[in-house]
């Protein structure tokens, strides 16, 4: 590395504010990033191993705790995979309730992401604004399930709690609240000239790279890739609903794959989620919420079951996947493989960082909506002299904020 005058900059792995410690090592030539490499694993808790020593029911709450933000995603996939393996069919009402819950979570995840993205480029007012409006959907989730996170909603054959008619007005009120605020969000994130300067043409992922690297979710839809499990392989009740791939070209923008397109896709999905929940409330059939109400009998059935199944859903961050194998006569799961969305999107970091500036690191790192995004410390080692220099998260953040201000012509906000 001495010959080409590049620096190595590790960023990570620990920051207490986020649930996933993470390390990215950058190769820097002056201000330009010429290489990026992700080093995950700081928070590998061996959950799959733990799951293979428990009975299927005990794994439901365990799977829910894989992620702190998308509590619904992993229990949804896990339950679907076991149902597939054991041949259990959930009731149709349960399928609709699953969709409603998943879409409510998508709203809260995307709003949260918008706040983090704004924070990374120095707009803390937007961060506070988006996190304030996120409270509404959290309140609604608490109203429906009793919990703000870890909803304990899924069970084999259906869901644990119903969404009765008396809850509809509050759900509708929350949807209306977001609908009214959407214009403001769009104005902030798509119209603001300084945000446009920081996001347009930055962190570009080409369509070809997106396909080759098997990327998922809004990260690749922004590049014009038509991949959305809700439409491609409609699970739960998505097959009954009207959905469209949310691509930037649908709204007259180019499928450029930069951060602006990724923001656009996420904001449009917010509107889509509102529409999906309304469709569900209209069409939801009136029947039982669980086809397997007797837990002991189901457990016995699962113990005898011999088969394998997959669970695959579109999480807020993109496609996620579970594989489960049950062995006849064995109470514990025989095999359980969990794959979250960020796992596939890790590979897309390398082309996105290439050629960008150090000050763009926070926003590009955040743009795939990883379960990280907070850069605790960065260390720059000058390979020529062996000198070390540390960038702390605050300093990196300051650099990013400074870049925004410089772009605004040095105007102090």
Partner 1 sequence: MIPEDRLPVSMEDLEKYFKKHLGDALTDFKREEFKKGLKGRAIKVIWMKVDREKFLFAIKTIANIQIPHLSVTSGSDMGDFVELIYHFHVNYGYPGEETSINLKVHLPKSDLTIPTITDMIPGALTTEREKQEFLGITVLGIPDSRRLWLDENYPKDRYPWRWDETGMEGCSRYVHDPAEATQKPISEKPRGGDRDE
Q: Does residue 222 bind partner 1 (CB under 8 A)?
A: no
Distance between CA atoms of residues 210 and 350, nearest Å: 11
* CB 378, CB 390: distance < 8 Å: yes
- State in angstroms the smallest separation of the CB of 240 from partner 1: 4
Does the footprint of partner 1 cover residue 237 (CB under 8 A)? yes
389 binds partner 1 (CB under 8 A): no
Burial of 215 (0-12, 13-18, 19+ CB in 10 A): buried
Task: Kindly tell me the sign of the dihedral angle through the C-alpha atoms of 263, 266, 269, 274.
Answer: negative
Dist. CA 372–CA 365, nearest whole Å: 8
Q: Is 343 in the site for partner 1 (CB under 8 A)?
A: yes
Q: Residues in contact with partner 1, total (CB under 8 A)?
A: 48
Find the part of the chain contacting partner 1 (CB under 8 A) among 34-42, 58-66, 110-118, 382-390. 34-42
Among 34, 181, 214, 354, binds partner 1 (CB under 8 A): 214
Q: Is 49 in the site for partner 1 (CB under 8 A)?
A: yes
Q: Is 156 near partner 1 (CB under 8 A)?
A: no
Give the residue from 336, 337, 363 showing the smallest Cα distance to 349: 363
Instruction: Kindly tell me which residue out of 234, 377, 380, 408 binds partner 1, with binding defined by CB under 8 A.
Output: 234
For partner 1, the binding residue among 62, 167, 190, 211 (CB under 8 A) is 211
Please, which residue, 92 or 291, has the CB nearer to partner 1?
92
Helices (H), 146-286: 168-186, 193-199, 207-212, 218-221, 229-232, 259-283
44 binds partner 1 (CB under 8 A): yes
Interface residue with partner 1, options 47, 161, 334, 383 (CB under 8 A): 334
Q: Which is nearer to partner 1, 51 or 115 (CB)?
A: 51
What b-and-e string marks burial along 253-292, b requiring 16 or more CB atoms within 10 Å of the CB? eebbbbbbbbbbbbbbbbbbbbbbbbbbbeebeeeebbbb
**x-marked contacts with partner 1 along 79-108 as a string, rule CB under 8 A:** -----x-------x--x-------------
- Smallest distance from partner 1 to CB 335, Å: 4
**Positive or negative: CA dihedral 289, 83, 73, 182:** negative
Residue 220 has φ and ψ, to the nearest 5°, of -95, -25
The footprint of partner 1 (CB under 8 A) covers 23, 39-41, 44, 46, 48-49, 84, 92, 95, 211-215, 225-227, 229, 231-240, 245, 283, 285, 308, 310, 312, 319, 321, 323, 325, 334-335, 337, 339, 343-344, 346-347
């Amino acid at each position: 590395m001495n010959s080409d005058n590049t620096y190595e900059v590790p960023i990570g792995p620990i920051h207490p504010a986020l649930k996933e410690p993470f390390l990215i090592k950058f190769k820097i030539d002056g201000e330009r990033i010429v290489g990026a490499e992700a080093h995950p694993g700081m928070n590998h808790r061996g959950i799959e191993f733990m799951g293979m020593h428990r009975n299927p029911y005990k794994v439901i709450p365990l799977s829910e705790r894989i992620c702190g933000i998308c509590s619904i995603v992993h229990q949804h996939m896990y339950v679907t995979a076991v149902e597939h393996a054991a041949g259990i069919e959930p009731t149709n009402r349960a399928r609709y309730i699953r969709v409603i819950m998943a879409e409510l979570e998508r709203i809260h995840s995307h709003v949260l992401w918008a706040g983090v993205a704004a924070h990374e480029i120095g707009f803390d007012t937007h961060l506070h604004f988006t996190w304030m409006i996120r409270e509404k959907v959290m309140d609604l989730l608490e109203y429906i399930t009793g919990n703000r996170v870890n909803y304990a909603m899924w069970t084999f054959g259906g869901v644990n709690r119903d969404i009765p008619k008396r809850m509809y007005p509050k759900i509708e009120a929350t949807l209306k609240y977001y609908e009214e605020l959407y214009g403001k969000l769009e104005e902030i994130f798509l119209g603001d000239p300084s945000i446009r300067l920081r996001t347009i043409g930055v962190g570009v992922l080409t369509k070809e790279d997106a396909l080759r690297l098997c990327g998922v979710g809004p990260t690749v839809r922004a590049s014009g890739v038509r991949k959305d499990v809700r439409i491609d392989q409609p699970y739960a009740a998505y097959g009954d609903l009207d959905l469209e791939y949310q691509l930037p070209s649908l709204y007259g923008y180019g499928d450029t794959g930069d951060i602006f397109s990724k923001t656009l896709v996420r904001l449009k999905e917010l509107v889509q989620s509102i529409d999906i929940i309304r469709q569900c409330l209209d069409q939801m059939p009136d029947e039982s919420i669980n086809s397997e109400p007797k837990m002991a009998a189901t457990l016995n059935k699962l113990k005898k079951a011999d088969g394998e199944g997959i669970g695959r859903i579109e999480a807020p961050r993109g496609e996620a996947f579970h594989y489960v194998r049950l062995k006849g006569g064995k109470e514990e799961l025989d095999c359980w493989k969990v794959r979250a969305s960020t796992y596939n999107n890790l590979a897309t970091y390398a082309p996105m960082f290439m050629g960008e500036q150090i000050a763009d690191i926070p926003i590009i790192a955040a743009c795939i909506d990883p379960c990280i995004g907070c850069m605790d410390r960065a260390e720059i080692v000058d390979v020529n002299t062996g000198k070390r220099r540390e960038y702390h998260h605050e300093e990196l953040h300051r650099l990013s904020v400074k870049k925004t201000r410089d772009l605004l012509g040095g105007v102090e906000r």
